[in-house]
Structure 1
Amino acid sequence: MWGNLARFILKNRLILLIALTLATVFMAYHAFQVKLSYEFSRAIPLDNPKYKIYQSFRQKFGEDGNLLVVGVQTDQFFKAPFFNSYTALAETFKKIPAVENVLSVPGSTNLKKDSAAEKLLAVTIFESGRISQAALDSSASVFLSLPFYRGLLYNAETKTYLMGLSINKEVMNSKQRNDVVAAIVKAGDAFGKQNNIEMHYSGLPHIRTNMATKVASEMQWFLLGSILLSAVILLIFFRSLSATALSLGVVVIGVIWCLGTIEFLGYRITLLTALIPPLVVVIGIPNCIYFLNKYHTSYLDTGEKNKALVEMISRMGIVTLFCNIAA
């Protein structure tokens, strides 16, 4: 079977090369269209205890994937200059596209009883705009007396204060979230530099954005590094530029087909699928070494290129097929 396949390939090599070239160009077009996935991907089994705890948390408290938290630690928080600057930061965050809501100390509310209407009214604790130190001290005493915000927006022991930003869920699952998170970090860092204070960021939007950026950059470097390392290994073993170029050409075609297939089938690059192209390189290089070694040994035995190629495909075809399936 494999001998007949080898003879068929050699007999129709021109047609097959043209077909392979056209198909590779088609796959290269799709490979350049491949996109990075910005959706929250599950990387652990459904029966994992930690995953079950997370699902229980979501059922009780709702979705948490669109909340970004900005934290500061200072003992000058309720000083008028810092507080007014902090209030301006909250207003800046509200103006950023896709930021739907901002939960912060300046925007906190208190419930007051309306005896006439027999209901509770939500009133803001702090005055809007710039506030004087006297008014701030009065409002701060009211705020600190409310146990609801204790441990939620501030920690009195560590002098830590948090600001929660709710980001649009559709934007969170798109490329736009990179610009939104970058704008938030830029505004926060400007505030920190202005007040000489360290800014802290957390929450899934920030983590997922950093992870997506790392996946995109590390995939490129990892793929390039694997190809360069393979080229060095091939040069050391074969000491031939033609053999190295041929092997790398085969591997590059495999990577193009890999990325093109991912996009053609409607998938995107995730934390897991980003490992496929480097794996193709790692798996493809040994295959090239096996085929070249078998060709050279067969050529030394037969002295004819065609017979050596038929022998190479007949002997190594089935072996390589099952090795790649197992890999």
Structure 2
Amino acid sequence: MISRIVDNPIKTLFILFSLTIGFAYYAFFSTNKLIVDFSLEQMFPENDPERDKYDQFRSEFSREDDKFLLIYSCDDPLSRENIKKLSVIDELINKIVGVQQTTSLSNIQENEEFLFDETLDDSTWEAHKEMVLDHPLYTNLVISEDGNSGAIFVDMKDDVNNQTLRENLFKEIDIGLEIHGRDWDWYEAGIPVLRTRYVELVSKERSIFIPLGGLVVILILFFVFRQVNCVVLPMTSIFITLIWVSALMAYLGITINLISYLTYILILIIGCSNCIHILMKYHECVEQEDGNIKLAVRRVIKELGGALFLTSLTTAVGFFSLMMTNIRITQEFGFVLGVGVVLMFIVAIITIPIILLYLPSPPQHHIKRLISQSDSFSVDKIDASTKKFPYPILVLSILFLIISFIGLKSIDYNISILDDLRPGNSLYDDIMYVDKNFGGTLPLEIVISNFNSSTTNKDSSSLDNIFNLDFLTKADEFESKIEEISHIKKAISMNDYIKVIANFWEPERGMALPEYDDDIYDYLDLAPSNIGTNLFNSDSTKYRITCRVGNIRSKVADSLKVDVQSIFDEVFNGGNQEVLISGSTLLALRTQGFLIRDLTTSFILAFIIIFISMVILFRSIRLSLISILPTIIPLVAAAAIMGFSGIKLRPSTAMTFSIALGIAVDDTIHFLARFRQELKKTKDVGLAVSNSILSTGKAIIGTTLVLCMGFFTLYFSELVPNHEFGILATIILIIALISSLLLLPVLLNLFYKHKLK
């Protein structure tokens, strides 16, 4: 195989570049070309009974994720001047394509008359102000409880169900507010806002960090090799691989989405690591073969191919393990990236050596700097340290591991939906402002099914009408009690509308339910036909209470469901009713919890597969066991830093461990592969260890430098997942470098030499 590649370079390159051109056309210009889809809906699990219940809820009721609030802060939201100004803005928003209707102080009505009509006298205006501030429907919907902020409640049309349509809608709103509302402070919140602005932020990050990652890789390659061809060759290999991966994604129908966009950054960084090992080995072989490029290229492929294949395999295994999750786009991300890493190995090990055949031999001063100088990257000092301080290094490593396990126990997995954003980000600040002043923005849905009291089978055929006084009275008691739960900020149900209508006809009774069943239907007949229709299903057998909650955490969400269920059991006391507690908020928090569990399982599986792979490659259980400690320490240390620093265990950080495991173990594999080669030559463990440090140590340091700088660029991301991924990946790689070049040599010197005796 090696002979065919080296002896037929033109043919090999022709096939390679022909395939690349074909793949590029398919990926970017064909009818099946790669598309971008940053919708958050893809993050929901594929097979989950809770999602099935949520989907059933959405099929019976109007969507709860198509409404949002535009909050404005001004001197007095209820003044005549500000209501008039609001009327212009409200009318403008209602004309935007995709807006179903709006509710605001300028258009709310009582008895088919505007509540704040400009023709009202001052006393009536003041009376209406007091009424609105104490209204069960309007408070925290169009006016805050303290009266200092107003809001426009926007209901989108059902067909506005993807990122493109939402972006266009919000763009029109932004333009309108810039023209007519620039004197007010505006805030926005709600699930559509969160989805749209979050995706816009991700898209912005993609346009920044992919080019930035490429620039960092180019600068480091030039810093390490200081030769133009040693920059162009790796970038060519990476570019080819990215085209192949794009074609694979297009063929499988995998989009560039919230997770898969990281594929390009990771292949860019990981691919550069492989290229550095190839080029370092090439410089070494050129020196040993007295400038014979063909023999040097043969040796590069033969001696480095096995180790590079295993490092690519272990890295791919880390990514493939993500396929065990229950989230489709995470599964796709793991598969594509795993295949991409293997393709990167194939392309690099073929393209770079072959093109090197047509380039002049590297200048001697570069070979001397990279290979002959033992003090390059201070590897001579590292070698001396392993000989002079073996036991202190071992003891410190064990102590470090023990401390890390202590920190690991402190990891916090109590996450919230807004944990992906940091204070100072406009989306985060807007939602927190609305949480504080309007009592929460995230939806919580409660649906009560009313079954016939005479039946024992609770199915759709035995459901009973909800518009009877006995049921509505219990529902009203239930709603009153759940509103006492501190995390439920706002709740609206059909009872609220019935009370408002009853109060209009019988003001002396106040906001109360009618006294008789017949009155319920009489009042509803007098009301507008569409009033409250989204709060009960089509056959009037299910009663919906739509609530808003603040930025609750996963543990609070779990206890909240328990509390609501407990109150339901207390109020309905074994009656023929059932309750469903759902909503996108609970589903999202549940999804993250299951994803963490799946990723933890996948990490353990990846570790086992990688260990078995090392046993097969090195044909030595003892050598593989020696490698476990240097491999585990970086991962446990990163987990400890999470525990001590308060970084939460969320899907992004859990994913980091599976990914970083495959990358971090590369250093150990490269070192052990070189150690076995040197051991065959010298028959001396100590000398083999020293030679490995002085040779492969330079490549390991160089690749770690590239990987760390590449990942560390994510430190500056506005998105907390990317920010924390950059921090943790960098920490893991730095500690993996120290473990591979300090601890691993000590372990080999202390424990492996006994086997030779």
Q: TM-score range by the shorter chain?
A: 0.7 to 0.9
Root-mean-square deviation (CA, aligned residues, Å) is: 3.1
Give the CA deviation at 1:133: 5.4
- Residue equivalent to 2:19: 23
Matched AA of 1:318: G
Q: Which residue number in structure 2 is paired with residue 251 of structure 1? A: 238
The separation in 1 between residues aligned to 2:47 and 2:252, in whole angstroms, is 28
Whose helix fraction is larger, Structure 1's or Structure 2's? 2
Q: Which residue of 2 aligns with 1:286?
A: 273
Query: Cα offset for 1:75?
Result: 4.4
Indicate the SS of the match to 1:171. coil
Q: Is the 8 A contact 2:40 2:258 kept in 1?
A: no
Q: Which residue of 2 aligns with 1:208?
A: 195
Contact 1:38 1:175 in 2 (8 A): no
Which amino acid in the other structure matches residue 76 of structure 1? D
What residue number does 2:70 align with? 70
Aligned to 1:326: 314
**Structure 1 match to 2:753:** none
User: For 1:243 and 1:307, how far apart are their aligned partners in 2?
Assistant: 19
2:147 paired with 1:151: no
> Which range moved further: 89-98 or 173-182?
173-182
| Structure-2 separation of matches of 1:34 and 1:320 | 30
Which residue of structure 1 lines up, in the alignment, with residue 712 of structure 2?
A: none
Q: Which is further off, 180-189 or 253-262? A: 253-262
Range moving further from structure 2, 131-140 or 270-279: 131-140
**Superposed displacement of residue 210, structure 1:** 2.3
Counterpart check, 1:13 vs 2:2: no
Contact 2:24–2:247 (Cα < 8 Å) also in 1: yes
| 1:196-235 mapped onto 2 (5 Å cutoff) | 196-235=183-222
Deviations 1:137-193 (A, max 9, x none): 454454345333223322231522221212234434142322211111221233322
Q: CA deviation at 1:103?
A: 2.2
Please state if 1:188 is matched with 2:188: no
Matched, 1:301 2:288: yes
| 1:310 aligned residue | 298
The Cα of 1:241 is off from its aligned counterpart by: 0.6
The answer as to whether partners of 1:31 and 1:256 remain within 8 angstroms in 2 is no
Q: Deviations over 1:258-313 (max 9, x none)?
A: 33332332122222111110100110111011111222222222343222222211
Cα shift at 1:246: 0.9
Give CA deviations for 1:45-87 in whole Å, capped at 9, x if unaligned. 7999xx99x969x789964332221001234222222101112
What letter corresponds to residue 297 of structure 2 in structure 1? L
Deviation of 1:104 after TM superposition, in Å, equals 2.0
Structure 1 contact 74–160 (Cα < 8 Å) conserved: yes
Contact 1:97-1:180 at 8 Å conserved across structures: yes
Distance 1:28 1:170, change over 3 A: farther
Distance 1:170 1:22, change over 3 A: farther
Contact 1:80 1:133 in 2 (8 A): no
1:260 aligns with 2:256: no
Q: Report 1:123-162 matches (<5 A).
A: 123-126=112-115, 131-132=119-120, 134=122, 136-137=125-126, 139-162=128-151
- Are positions 1:273 and 2:260 aligned together? yes
Q: Deviations over 1:99-157 (max 9, x none)?
A: 112122333244xxxxxxxxxxx6344267x5555464454454345333223322231
Unaligned runs of 5+ in 1: 111-121
Q: 1:15, CA displacement in angstroms?
A: 2.7
- What residue number does 1:116 align with? none
CA contact (8 A) 2:285 2:300 kept: yes
Per the alignment, in what secondary structure is the counterpart of residue 180 of structure 1? helix
Partners of 2:163 and 2:196 within 8 A in 1 = no
Change (3 A) 1:169 1:12: farther
Q: CA deviation at 1:218?
A: 1.8
Q: 1:291 to 1:133 in 2, by over 3 A?
A: farther
- What is the deviation of 1:43? 5.0
Aligned residue number for residue 114 of structure 1: none
CA contact (8 A) 1:295 1:309 kept: yes
Alpha-carbon distance, 1:203 to partner = 1.9
Q: Which runs of 5 or more structure 2 residues have no equivalent in the other structure?
A: 316-757
**Alpha-carbon distance in structure 2 between the residues aligned to 1:214 and 1:86:** 29
- The farther-off stretch of 272-281 and 295-304 is 295-304
Rg larger for = 2
Once residues 107 and 153 of structure 2 are traced to their aligned partners in structure 1, the CA distance between those partners, rounded to angstroms, is 11
Q: In the alignment, is the contact (CA less than 8 A) between 2:89 and 2:176 conserved in 1?
A: yes
Equivalent-residue separation in structure 1 for 2:150 and 2:46 (angstroms): 35
In 2, Cα distance between the equivalents of 1:55 and 1:236? Answer: 54
SS of residue in 1 equivalent to 2:247: helix
Q: Using structure 1 for the length normalisation, give the TM-score.
A: 0.81
The question of whether the paired residues in 2 share the 8 Å contact of 1:72 and 1:198 is answered with yes
| C-alpha distance in 1 between matches for 2:149 and 2:109 | 19
**Higher RCO (Cα < 8 Å, 6 or more apart):** 1
SS at match of 1:71: strand
2:437 counterpart residue number: none
Aligned to 1:118: none
For the structure 1 residues 299 and 144, does the alpha-carbon distance in structure 2 shift closer, same or farther, using more than 3 Å as the test? closer
CA distance in 1, matches of 2:62, 2:303: 59
Aligned sequence identity (%): 19
| Corresponding residue of 2:513 | none
